[in-house]
Every structure is written in C-alpha cells, then in structure tokens.
Structure 1
Amino acid sequence: MRKLIAGNWKMNGFVSSQAEIEALKGLTGSAACDIVVCPPFTLIDRAVERARESHLVIGAQDCHAQACGAHTGDVSAEMLADAGVRYIILGHSERRMSYGEDNDIVLAKAIAAHRAGLIAIICVGETRHERDEGRAIEVVGDQLSGSIPQGANSANLVIAYEPVWAIGTGLVPTSEQIEEVHSAIRRLLEERMGRDGSLVKILYGGSVKASNAPAIFGLSNVNGALVGGASLKASEFAGIISAAG
C-alpha cells in the first residue's frame, strides 16, 4: 500500500511560510508516497496556488458540520473544497480535549467532509492514564465506532492513531505498542467494512521525526504518518518523506 505522509501545521505559519510549500513541491515528483500539508485556514488559498501543477496536496485542520449558516468564525467543508482542499483532519486530540469534541461531533464533521467530496483523516488515541489502565484498545475502538460515518470507504477515509501522551512530548510508544494498536484498528475496520477495511490507510502520529520514521514505517499496518512540528520545515519533513520510500 502506498504510504501517506500528512503534515499538520496546527496554529503555525505566516505568508513567509509559503517558501516551505515551494520547497516541498520539488520532493513530490520523485517521492514514493503521497504528501499532504494541512496549513492554518489563513494560508490555504496561497498553499493551493503554490502547490498547483505538482503532486503536493493541501488539506485543512478542521471544519464545521454544517454547509453554511450563522456560525461565526467557522469554516465549512464545502468552503474548503471550493478553496481546493482535498483532506480534512478531524477529531485530533487537541480538538477533542480543548474544545470538548466528542465522537458525535467528530462523526458529524466527517459526514460533512464526505458530503463535500473530501477525505476525512479521523484521529484516535488514548491518554497516558487510559494506557496505564490497560484501556488503550478499548478507547481507540470506541472512538472508531463512534466517529466513522456509515458508507465510509478506503477512498474517503484515513485513520490516524495518535497516542495523546506522545504528541509533542518527544515520547514514542514502543514498536510493540504501535503495532498492537494498528493491528487492532485494522481488525475493527475489516469487521465494519469487509475487504475494503484492509485498504484504509492507518497513519501513526506522535513525535514522528526523520530519525525514528524508518522503524515506525517498518511496522505492520503502519501506512504513513501524521506529522506535527517536524512538518513545519521542508528540510526536516523531507527526511520523513524519504523514510516512507
């Protein structure tokens, strides 16, 4: 399965950051993986224009569940599709925790993404406390069952496993821990979607760097990565992209 490397810029980047988009364009032609960059809303239009006539794809970090209306400060999936976005990150732990987004909200947003013809990258992952209690698989399973829309398929769905305790901390689960959760996710997808569940990409996220990417990508059912801080500089992101080849 061709790997997918997605960069989540979070609340980072200015107009000058478009130089990183330009640098990444040069990597896409020879890359052995698909590359997506998800900048903040303020940079999406410029990023789409910069990425034109290249294999670099632009995504977004969130969307509203409704197509339009009186929702001050929000952006709909339809608006993002109109701007040239092809992917949307949904259910990231920072949204689930800081904004109280539960599975129902993530599900509604995923339905919106599919309604607009976009690919939903749905994030799942346990906290340190939940892992210490031995509930990692249970928590991830609940998030999957509650967040994936009916009718989702391998063409419009990507799953990103991001243990909350590894995001931005420098901590990385052991290979055995990553493989255990990814294998469990694969089983759950196949139970729900049949053979098509074996084709859904499952990304790992959480302190992914060029130095640890080769080992992570060599694990069973790891089909790429959702990368945070290391995606902000093309020079560092390039090392992760190379590891996917």
Structure 2
Amino acid sequence: MSEMSKKQLIAGNWKMNASLAGSEALVRGVLEGLAAAPAVCDVAMCVPAPYLAAVQGWLSGQTAVQAGAQDVSQHASGAYTGEVSADMLRDFGVRYAIVGHSERRQYHGETDEVVAAKAQRALAAGITPIVCVGETLAEREAGHTEEVVRRQLAAVVHVNGHCITEIVVAYEPVWAIGTGKTASPEQAQQVHAVLRAQLAAASVHADRIPLLYGGSMNASNAASLLAQPDIDGGLIGGASLKVPDFLAIVAAAR
C-alpha cells in the first residue's frame, strides 16, 4: 500500500446476529478497547439495519469507529417494500455499506449489474460502498478465480467510472466464508494483486482504493494476511462478534 493510499480498514460484518443488548455490549466493548489502545487503522461496524439508530447513538461523540450497513437498495425510493435506501442510511450516520456480499449474490440472486447499481446509489449519498468479489470453490478448482473477480469488479468500474477511487473492494473467496478455511496469505495476495492491476487500468489513483480480505480472517491469522503488500484491511465476519478477537485484528493492522 503506497504512501498516498488510505489507512488500512478493519470492518466488522455482524451479518444477521446479535440482539439489541448484545449490539450495545459489542459497540461499547470495542470503544472501551480502542480508548485504551487507539487504532492506527480505520474501524467500522456493519450492523443489522434495525440497530442502526441505536448504534448511531452509541457511536456519537467519538471518531474511533464508523457505522456501516450490510446492504443498500439499488433504488433511490419508491414502492420497494422491505428495501432500505442510501439516503435512509445516511440519515443514521452510516459511513460504509457492504454491497454484493456473496450471501446476497447466492441467496438473493444479486447480479453484477445490481451490485454496481447499489455501489452507485451509495456513492451518490456520500456513503462508501464495500464492494465484495470472490469465487466459489468450484470456480477456483476450475481455474476461474481471476476471471470471476475481474468480471465482478468490471461491472462496478463500468457503472461508476471516475468515482471508482471512492470505493472499497473486499475479496472474499466464497469457499472461505464461515467455513474456518482461509486463503493463505500468498493466495489472497495473488488475487489482490490482480484486482489492484485492474483498478490501476481504470484509474491513475488506484493505490488509494483499500483492498480488504474477507474470508475467515481471525485473531491468529490477521497479522500474516495484513502484512501482504496489496491487502489493506479486512472484512471480518464471525470474529467481529467477539470483542477481544475483533480488537486483536484491529491491533494487527497498520
């Protein structure tokens, strides 16, 4: 990561977990930990939408942790029951929004084009989209990893053009999400280098775009993954639900 690029980013993705009381315990626990040992990286918590109002309150008056959403609608407003717009998220102080997570692609049929549109809506509202890309185990074993992640990222680049330097990209090999399996630092770096080159071809400021690794990063493997030259942070799943583990990952960032 160059001197001109952004700081590393550690973003927790709680997924559909935690209660209201549990959410408060997580937020306050992380804030207490960072007060005792301030982070040198950026930190975000991507929480379930019903808790955004409460999280906004718990995070008020501090700058150590930013609020994030786990999704955003591709539509600005209208008759889209159950959807949450970027403007709504902005009203609750949301700084980041995950788009195109593999679970959204798999379970909700989100296409590359839908993901690109969601990123565009987030950007228009001043929210930084964390754009997820990644291959399945079958795609990796067939030698299609680079083809898949290039295609997924290309759709976002095509739609967002000159705004591309305002996004975050998260490489999350689907086979390593919630499975306990993790891409080796070398495997992860190889794909991150491919993504970096693709972004460099689209923007002269590609080095400013944080590239996160999201595939079972935890307290024990974070340091080795974060030490790779093109890994600029992590999108943390299960470990983000445990205050000590999440703080250990933050401490491993630079």
Short-chain TM bin: over 0.9
Task: Name the aligned partner's letter for residue 20 of structure 1.
Answer: L
The AA in structure 1 aligned to 2:27 is: I
2:163 to 152, 157, 161: 152
Q: Give the share of equivalent positions with the same residue, in percent.
A: 42
Cα distance in structure 2, aligned partners of 1:207 and 1:170: 6
Secondary structure in 1 aligned to 2:43? strand
| 1:168 pairs with 2:178 | yes
Aligned residues: 243
Of residues 1, 11, 17, the one that matches 1:12 is: 17
CA apart distance, 1:46: 0.5
Written as runs of structure 1 = structure 2, the 5 A alignment for 1:61-210 is 61-148=70-157, 149-154=160-165, 156-194=166-204, 196-210=205-219
CA contact (8 A) 1:35 1:57 kept: yes
Query: The residue matched to 1:86 in structure 2 has which SS?
Result: strand
Indicate yes or no: 2:45 matched with 1:45.
Answer: no
Which runs of 5 or more residues in structure 1 are unaligned? Answer: none
> Separation in 2 of the partners of 1:147 and 1:98?
20
Tell me, in whole angstroms, the C-alpha distance in 1 between the residues paired with 2:30 and 2:56. Answer: 13
Q: Give distance in 1, aligned partners of 2:163 and 2:252.
A: 29
The higher relative CO (CA closer than 8 Å, separation ≥ 6) is in 2
Give the ranges of 4+ consecutive aligned residues of structure 1 lying more than 6 Å apart after TM superposition: none
Report the alpha carbon displacement of residue 27 of structure 1 after superposing the two structures with TM: 3.6
How far off is 1:153 after superposition? 3.5
CA–CA distance in 1 between the matches of 2:106 and 2:251? 32
C-alpha displacement of 1:74: 0.8
* Alignment match of 1:24 (pick from 10, 30, 40): 30
Name the amino acid aligned to 1:105: V
1:152: how far off?
2.0
Partner of 2:41: 33
Superposed displacement of residue 177, structure 1: 1.1
Cα distance between partner residues in 1 of 2:28 and 2:225: 27
For residue 233 of structure 2, the aligned residue among 202, 216, 224 is 224
Instruction: Give the distance between the partners of 2:75 and 2:82, measured in 1 at CA.
Output: 13
Cα distance in 1 between the residues matched to 2:115 and 2:233: 22
Structure 1 length normalisation: TM-score?
0.96
Paired with 2:48 and 2:16, the residues of 1 have a C-alpha distance of 6
Match of 1:212 among 208, 221, 234: 221
SS of equivalent residue, structure 2 residue 130: strand
